[in-house]
Structure 1
C-alpha cells in the first residue's frame, strides 16, 4: 500500500471557487483504493457551509512556531466518499467571508502557515505519505519546507513531492524581505535558482524548483508554458525541468454531470434519445430566460468567469455582428465589470435574443449545458478547461480556440472525413472566431444529420476521472519507485 497525500487550498464538496476544487475532490476518488491510501488536507475556512462544518470532528491541536510567534494549529477530520480529509484550523488565518482575499501579503502569510502546519500535523495524525501531491502556489512552500526544515527528521526522510500547476498566472509573489521574515527560510533559499524571480520571492517557483515532478492539467498547456507567451515569466525554469514536466488532462465527475440523472435539468436524456428529448430543455430555458420561443433557432451558451483570459474581448468586438445572425445567446457568470455591463447592454439591445445572467448558479449552469445547441469558449489561454468537457457530456457542441486543454479535448469537425466533436479556430482573432461560429451555424441549419453525428461523437467521448487517475497512478509509481 502506498500513501498519497493531497494538500490544497480548496476541494469539493467542502469549499470551491474554481476548477482546482473539482480536481482535489474528484481525483482521489478515481485512484485505486487497493494499492493507494489517498488522504487530503485542506484549510478549515469559516466560510464553509454549516452542513459541511457539521461533518468535521476534532482530532487534536498543538502550537507551532510561525512568523515569530506561536500559532494555534487545530486538526479536524472527516470522511467523505471513502476519502479521509483533514482540516487545519486557525481563527486568525481562515476566518474570512471568502477563502481568498485581495490582500496579497496576507494570502502569502496564510498559505505559508498552512503549508508548514500541513507538514507538522503528519506525525500527530500518524500518516506518513510516500508522496505529497501539491496544488498551485498556495502549497508551493511544501517541497521547500520538506527540503529545509523537515529534512532532518527520520519521519520525513524520502517523501516525494509533485507540484501541479492549475493556472500559471497565479504565483504568490511578494518582496523577499517580508517573505523571508514570514517563512523563516534562510538567505540560501532566496537566490535566482530557487525562490527569487525578478527581485521578488515567488512561492510557486519554490515549489517548481524543489518538487520531484511537475504536472499541469493538459498536454498542450504543458508545452505552451515552456514558451514566453504562456510561461508567465517562468518559461525558462519550465524548459529546464521539461524532463520532469508532464500534462495530464483533468476529468469531470461523470456522476455529477450526467444528462440521464441530472436533478437540475428540466428533461433528462441520453446519447440514444437526445434527438427527441434534449429540445425540451431548450424550450424551458427560452421561456424562463425571456428568449424568443423557437425550437429551430440555434442557442449558444456561455458559462464562465467574465475575464480577459476567457476571450471576452473577442466576443465584445463581434457581438453586434453576431446578433445579426439567426442565433440566441445566453451567458451566465460574473467577473470584470466591463464585460458584465457589456452583456447587460446587449441583453437590453437585443431583447429576446440575448439573455445575461450576471451571477453564478450551479443549477442554471447545468440547465445551460443541457439546453444549448452550441457552447462558446474562445479562451486566450486555458490550462485545461472543464466547461467544454461538460458541454460534450451534454451533447452541446463546443466552439473553442485551439489552446491548452481546449485543443486536447475538442476535435475539430471535418466535413470530408465525417469526424470531430466540435468546432475550433487557431488564432486569437475576433474575425476568425466569428467565421468559426458561422461555419457551425451553417452545419446546424443546413446539415442537421451531420450536426447530430457530431453530438453522437461528443457524447461518446470519455473524459471521466478514471482515464486521468490511471495516468497519475503511473506517475506516482514511477516517483515512489525510483
Structure 2
C-alpha cells in the first residue's frame, strides 16, 4: 500500500474558488483503494460552510515557530466519500472572509505557515506519506521544507514530492528579505538556481526546483510553458526540468455533469434521444432568457470569467459581425467591468438575439451546457479548461482556440474523414475565430447529419477522473519505486 498526501489551499466540497478545488477533492476518490491510501490536507478556513465544521473531529494540537512567532497548529479530521481529509486550524491565519486576501505579503505568510504545518503534523497524525502531491504556489514551500527537514530528522528522509502547476501565472512572489524572515529558511535557499527569481523570492519556483516531479494539467500546456510567451518568466526553469515535467489532463465529475440524470435541465437526454430533447431544452432556455423562440436557430453558449485570458477582446471585435448571422448567443459570468458592460450593450442592441447574464448561477450554467448547440472558448491560454469538457459531455459542440487543454481535449472536425468532436482555430485572431464559428454554422445548417454525428462523438468521449487517476497512479508508482 502506497501512502499519498495531497496538500492544497482549496478542495471541494469544503471550499472552492477555482478548478484546483475540483482536482484536490475529486481525484482522490478514484484511486485504487487496495493499492493507494490517498488523503488530503487543507487549511480550516472560517469562511467554510458551517455544516462541515460539525462533521470534523479533533485530532490534536501543538505549537510551531514561523515568522518569529510561536503559532498554534490545530488538527481536525473528517472522512467524506471514503477519503480522509485533515484540516489545519489557526484563526490568526485562516479567519478571513475568503481563502485568499488582497494582500500578497499576508498570503505568502499564511501559506508558508500552512506548508510548514503540513510537514509538522505528520508524526502527530501517524500517517507517513511515501509521496506528497503539492498543488500550486500555496504549497510550493513543502518540497523546500522537506529538503530542509531532512537535515533536521530521519523521519522526513525519502518522502517524495510532486508539484502540480494549475496556472503558472500565480507564483507567490515577494521580496527575499521578508520571505527569509517568514520562512526561517537558511540564506542558502535564496539564490537564483533555487528560490530566487528576478531578485525576489518565488514560492512556486522553490517547489518546481525541489520537487521530484513536476506536472501540469494538460500535455500541451506542459509544452507551452517552456516558451517565453506562456512561461511567465520561468520558461528557462521549465526547460531545465523538462525530463521531470509531464501533463495530465484534469477530469470531470461525471455524476455531477450528466445529461442522462441532471435534474437541473428541462429534458434529460442520451446519444439516442438528444435529437429530440436538446431542441426542447433550447426552447425552454430561450423562453427563460427572453430570446426569440426557435428550436432551429443555432444557439452559442459561453460560461466564463469575463477576462482577456478568456478571449473576450476577440469577441468584442467581431460581435457586430457575428450578430448579422442566423445565431443566438447566451453568456453567463462576471469579470472585468469593460466586458460586463460590453455584453450588456450587445444584449440591448440585439435584444432577442443576445442574452447577457452578468452573475453566476450553477443551475443556469447546467441549462446553458445542455441547451446550446455550440460552446465558444477562444482563450488566450488555458492550462486545462473545464467548460469544454462539460460541453462535450452535454453534446454542445466546442469551438475553441488551440491552446493548452483545449487543444488536447477537442479534436477538430474533418468533413472528409468524418472525424472530430468540435471546431478549432490556431491563432489568437478575431477573424480567424469568426471564420471558424461560420464554418461551424455551415455544418450545423447545411450538413445536419454530420453535425449530429459530431454531437454523438462528443457525448461518447471519456474525460472522467478515472482516466486521470490511472495516469497519476502510474506516475506515483514509478517515482516511489525509483
**TM-score category, normalised to shorter length:** over 0.9
Alignment partner of 1:452 is 2:462: no
Alpha-carbon separation, structure 2, partners of 1:385 and 1:173: 25
How far off its partner does 1:351 sit?
Answer: 1.1
- The unaligned stretches of length 5 or more in structure 2 are none
Alignment partner of 1:128 is 2:105: no
User: Matched residue of 2:168: which SS?
Assistant: coil
How far off its partner does 1:359 sit?
Answer: 1.2
**1:81-480 alignment, distance < 5 Å:** 81-480=81-480
Alpha-carbon separation, structure 2, partners of 1:217 and 1:352: 38
Deviations 1:225-279 (A, max 9, x none): 0011110100100101100000111110111111111121121111111111122
Partner residue in 1 for 2:64? 64
Deviations 1:361-393 (A, max 9, x none): 111111110011000000000101010000000
In the alignment of these two chains, the number of paired residues is: 482
How far off its partner does 1:396 sit?
Answer: 0.2
How far off its partner does 1:297 sit?
Answer: 0.9
**1:4-19 alignment, distance < 5 Å:** 4-19=4-19
How far off its partner does 1:335 sit?
Answer: 1.1
User: Matched residue of 1:316: which SS?
Assistant: helix
User: Matched residue of 1:348: which SS?
Assistant: helix
Q: CA RMSD in A?
A: 0.8
Alpha-carbon separation, structure 1, partners of 2:292 and 2:165: 42
Alpha-carbon separation, structure 2, partners of 1:150 and 1:139: 18
Alpha-carbon separation, structure 2, partners of 1:228 and 1:431: 25
Query: Is this contact kept in 1: 2:149–2:156, CA < 8 A?
Result: no
Alpha-carbon separation, structure 2, partners of 1:199 and 1:372: 49
**1:21-40 alignment, distance < 5 Å:** 21-40=21-40
Query: Is this contact kept in 1: 2:44–2:87, CA < 8 A?
Result: yes
Alpha-carbon separation, structure 2, partners of 1:151 and 1:330: 57
Alpha-carbon separation, structure 2, partners of 1:99 and 1:163: 20
- The unaligned stretches of length 5 or more in structure 1 are none
Q: Normalization by structure 1: what TM-score?
A: 0.99
User: Matched residue of 2:324: which SS?
Assistant: coil
Deviations 1:257-309 (A, max 9, x none): 11111121121111111111122211111111111111111111100111111
User: Matched residue of 1:13: which SS?
Assistant: coil
Alpha-carbon separation, structure 1, partners of 2:37 and 2:60: 21
Query: Is this contact kept in 1: 2:164–2:215, CA < 8 A?
Result: yes
Alpha-carbon separation, structure 2, partners of 1:103 and 1:390: 34
Alpha-carbon separation, structure 2, partners of 1:263 and 1:132: 37
User: Matched residue of 1:254: which SS?
Assistant: coil
**1:49-60 alignment, distance < 5 Å:** 49-60=49-60
User: Matched residue of 2:39: which SS?
Assistant: strand
Alpha-carbon separation, structure 1, partners of 2:45 and 2:280: 40
Deviations 1:42-88 (A, max 9, x none): 11111111222222222211111111111111111111111000001
Alpha-carbon separation, structure 2, partners of 1:46 and 1:469: 31
Alpha-carbon separation, structure 1, partners of 2:187 and 2:130: 29
Alpha-carbon separation, structure 2, partners of 1:284 and 1:53: 39
Give the stretch that moved more between structures: 122-131 or 144-153.
Answer: 144-153
User: Matched residue of 1:335: which SS?
Assistant: coil
Alpha-carbon separation, structure 1, partners of 2:275 and 2:463: 22
Deviations 1:460-480 (A, max 9, x none): 111111111111001000110
Alpha-carbon separation, structure 1, partners of 2:76 and 2:296: 54
Deviations 1:427-463 (A, max 9, x none): 0000000000000011111111110000011011111
